[in-house]
Amino acid sequence: MKKSFLLCGLAGWCIEVLWTGLHSALSGELTMTGKTSLLMFPIYGCAAVIRPFYKKFSAVPVMIRGFIYTVGIFSVEFISGSFLRCFHMCPWDYSQAPLNYKGLIRLDYAPLWFGTGLFFEKILKKLS
């Protein structure tokens, strides 16, 4: 589990840096600056909980698995963001984005979380 946690934390950091770098490029920032927060490592590491379940989920259609992962990621994002916000430490704020809920989750990111959950499933499958 420790190896899975570390791998998920590192993969999450990399994905976030790529995502924010792409966003800055699309916003006209030629430096394509990507960024993340140290606080995100344990949050991304939580994706390691997929590992014990993926064998049981293998018979479940991909659309249902993706939906389950999306709901799980939204839940972790909302709970961890709410907790960090209590200490004024939340590294994200979606308040100005369309389809946000309390500034902590963006419903328009559902397709991204769908794919990310399936991606993490594949990474963790290779560890077994």
What is the span of the domain harbouring residue 30? 2-127
**What are the two backbone dihedrals, phi and then psi, of residue 39, each rounded to the nearest 5 degrees?**
-65, -20
Q: How far is it, in rounded angstroms, from Cα 62 to Cα 96? A: 32
Provide the H-helix boundaries in 27-106: 40-45, 54-57, 62-86
Q: What is the residue whose two structure tokens read 């949050």?
A: 43
**In angstroms, rounded to a whole number, what is the distance separating the alpha carbons of residues 77 and 80?**
5
- Overall number of domains in the chain: 1
Whether residue 53 has pLDDT greater than 80: no
Query: Which tens digit of pLDDT belongs to each residue from 56-102?
Result: 887 899 999 999 999 999 999 999 999 999 999 999 999 999 999 99
Question: pLDDT class for 39, splitting at 50, 70, 90?
Answer: very high
pTM over 0.75: yes
